[in-house]
Amino acid sequence: MIHKTAIIDPSAKIGNNVQIGPYSVIGAEVEIGEGTWIGPHVVINGPTIIGRENRIYQFASVGEVTQDLKFNGERTFLKIGDRNVIREFCTLNRGTTQDTQIGNNNLFMAYVHIAHDCVVGSHVIFSNNASLAGHVTVEDHVILGGFSGVYQFCRVGAHSFVSTNSVVIKDVPPFVKVSGYYAKPYGLNTVGLQRRGFTENVITELRQAYKIIYRNGLTVAKAIEELTKMETVEVRDMIQFIQTSNSGIVR
């Protein structure tokens, strides 16, 4: 299950049924969960904790030291959940002031970069060359198009969609579709919501909420006042996201 040319530090903890391909390097303080597959020429450095049944393809660099110039050797982790797919040439860095954390069932296509101190939820798709700067939060069920980028300290809300070649410099509210350089709102992520089983009633409510935020010429404060009159859980999620935004939302 472990190729004879793989180099594994004695302190690494390898779970049951883990496969490690030729010429891969597993460094000190790395934990790899049961059933994970690691292809050839992968480098994993610690402290890094990887969950169960992940697939990490050739030439990926996982758990390397942050590229943040402020990094001064702080002890931080990269923590990866279960059943993630990390494709060729992805770079996932440890944190500077906090751990970099990745959830479950995510797909990171080739050349994706996850910088220091990021938090990525579950069921997220990063298309080729999508990148996160430091301190970015990406919530569950987000799709980032190819060559898209998210500026530091921004948040991307659950079930939102960032189109190809977009640059996000403000927070993207949940359920919203954005596009452009710099990214602007382009409606509700209706297709994604339908695919994930949201009812027509909920989607109709979210459309109305989107119009209140973006189409009625209201300030953010006034839009929130109008949104509080709506009762769906999803709209309340939008309200909470906007109220806790430090970077402001895309407009």
Residues annotated as catalytic (active site), given as ranges: 116-117, 134
Interatomic CA distance for residues 221 and 211, integer angstroms = 14
Question: What amino acid occupies position 33?
Answer: G
Residue 147: both structure tokens together: 């060559």
Residue 190: both structure tokens together: 């209706």
Residue 128: both structure tokens together: 């080729």
User: How far from the centroid of its chain's Cα atoms is residue 33's Cα?
Assistant: 20
Residue of 126, 84, 91 lying closest to 109 (CA atoms): 126
SS3 call for 230: coil
Strands 7-8 and 25-26: parallel
Helical axes 200-214 vs 220-227, angle rounded to 10°? 150
Instruction: Tell me the DSSP string of 21-64.
Output: -TT-EE-TTEEE-TT-EE-TT-EE-SSEEE-SS-EE-TT-EEEE
